[in-house]
Structure 1
Amino acid sequence: MLKIENLTATVADKTILDGLTLEVNAGEVHAIMGPNGAGKSTLAYVLGGRPGYEVTGGSVEFMGKDLLDLEPHERAALGFFLGFQYPVEIPGVSNVQFLREALNSQRKARGEEPLSGGDFLKLAREKAGLLKMDMEMLKRQVNVGFSGGEKKRAEMVQMGILDPKFAVLDETDSGLDIDALRIVGDGINTIMRGPDKAALLITHYQRLLEVVKPDYVHVLARGKIVKTGGPELALRLEEEGYEVVAA
């Protein structure tokens, strides 16, 4: 589903990704862990198409297409979703407005009919209930006045509504208490587990992986994947640290 080969990328003329290779097949959930500055968020932003992140080499294939050749909205319409480490506030726009416009824009790009207001609200209630979020929260401005945990749960509701084929979730567990972590983890399992879906979790901690249980764990260091294993690798990282494991 996603195939990255020898990817190199720079930010402000500094090389951050340096020959990264990774393949994620349909039906799989992968996790990437690594020290600060290793390039985890840079990878997420490059895949999402964020300006300022220049790809200088390598290739990325998604759903049989050249991902790097697509604009961010085209990547989203193809089924790509990026969960941000720091979800932004959008004053003056309600979550309901934002999500309905986002969903119907993607449906239009795929040649599908837009959802009516009633059908959309029914879908939104279903997905909000999955993340144990009150619909009143979705009537508020996007992330304005939300706690860190509320922002992450709202973003997971967004993922549920858009129903992507592939999700890159950048430190979705940050800012979550124990209960919220369980709710978000269960939401990821419900939304992104399936034979035609896949996900890439970027995290510093093993606690989210106890809920989501990835098929593979990768260590990203010095701009590339330096070690790959199963869930037990995350436990080893917790016990021994990156310097020992990624040496």
Structure 2
Amino acid sequence: MAELKIENLHVEIEGKEILKGVSLVIKSNEIHALMGPNGNGKSTLLAAIMGHPKYTVTEGKILLDGQDVLAMSIDERSRAGLFLAMQYPQEVPGVTNSDFLRAAINARRESPMPLFSFIKEMEKTIKDLEMKPDLAHRFLNEGFSGGEKKRNEIVQMKLLKPSIAMLDEIDSGLDVDALKIVANSVVDMQKNTDLGLIVVSHYERFYQLLKPTHAHVLVNGKIVIEGAEELVTKIDTEGYDWLYKEFDLQPVVEDKKQMPFSLGSCAASSKGKLV
């Protein structure tokens, strides 16, 4: 059983505090919906957990099965069992999907995965996500549509088999059919591998398909209310205005200048090269 524990986490970027004391516990077989208005710290939380260098943790702890995540490099966090499906997946020209994924898988193993086993598993995963058969030979995300990039993130997740995965608006840009395919793949993996999930989305439809066991609303860098699936429905029908009134909160004005973040690759070494 995996456990990701976040204790009193404070995070800033360029001297501006974004997270102001977030505490969460995510365990195997749990699906945590992380909601909140734009600009309130959801992506910041996921980036800080995965180790984005622009985000500075000023206080608090992140523990994965008792290990200090903050002491790990990005690739060490990935090998320990963390995975981030990014809202804006990075294009990597010149590196094929198959080379990228085989390198990432082998970085987690004591001995390399046999080529035949890798090909068989990758072909099955591509088929499950209903992607084009030539995906393995295409450069990583280069020339992909938005929906293809998102589905390719799930291909990576299924092949890398993390113990705790974070999905940052993985549903944005997906049509109705693709949304069902992605959700079904995520649920199937969660049931068969004891995966723990943190899911950021603005759409109740995606949460309806995933059926979260826990729900948290992040406002002004703090989790202001927690519940279960019914909280997702309440937010969808009533918005966030009632929260501002009930907890005497002021809406955050989103910083439009903030650029989408990229970790480069979860298969990257601390020097930024593919392993």
Which band: TM-score by shorter chain? over 0.9
Q: Normalising by the residue count of structure 2, what TM-score does the alignment of the two structures yield? A: 0.86
Q: Normalising by the residue count of structure 1, what TM-score does the alignment of the two structures yield? A: 0.95
Aligned to 1:36: 38
Aligned to 1:73: 75
Task: Quote the sequence identity (%).
Answer: 44
Match of 1:62, as an amino acid?
Answer: L
Pick aligned residue for 1:101 from 93, 100, 103: 103
CA distance, structure 1, for counterparts of residue 212 and residue 32 of structure 2: 5
Pick aligned residue for 2:11 from 9, 17, 20: 9
Q: Structure 1 residues 195, 138: CA separation in 2 closer, same or farther (over 3 Å shift)?
A: closer
Pick aligned residue for 1:187 from 169, 185, 188: 185
Q: Which moved more, 1:140-149 or 1:235-244?
A: 235-244
Aligned to 2:144: 146
Aligned to 1:177: 175
* Residues 189-231 of structure 1, C-alpha deviations (whole Å, 9 max, x = no match): 1122357420100111211101110101110111011111111
Q: Report the alpha carbon displacement of residue 244 of structure 1 after superposing the two structures with TM.
A: 1.4
User: Structure 2: which 5+ runs fail to align?
Assistant: 248-275
**How many residues are paired up?**
243
Match of 1:201, as an amino acid?
Answer: V
**C-alpha RMSD of matched pairs (Å):** 1.2
User: Structure 1: which 5+ runs fail to align?
Assistant: none
Q: Report the alpha carbon displacement of residue 101 of structure 1 after superposing the two structures with TM.
A: 0.8
Q: Which moved more, 1:127-136 or 1:56-65?
A: 127-136
Q: Report the alpha carbon displacement of residue 105 of structure 1 after superposing the two structures with TM.
A: 1.2
Following superposition of structure 1 onto structure 2, how do residues 1-247 of structure 1 map, counting pairs within 5 Å? Answer: 1-107=3-109, 112-194=110-192, 196-246=194-244, 247=247
Q: Would you say the 8 A contact 2:9–2:61 is kept in 1?
A: yes
CA distance, structure 1, for counterparts of residue 63 and residue 76 of structure 2: 14
* Residues 142-192 of structure 1, C-alpha deviations (whole Å, 9 max, x = no match): 111111110011110010110111101100111000000000001111122
CA distance, structure 2, for counterparts of residue 68 and residue 196 of structure 1: 24
Q: Would you say the 8 A contact 1:153–1:184 is kept in 2?
A: yes
| Structure 1 ranges of 4+ moved more than 4 A | none
Q: Would you say the 8 A contact 1:237–1:245 is kept in 2?
A: no
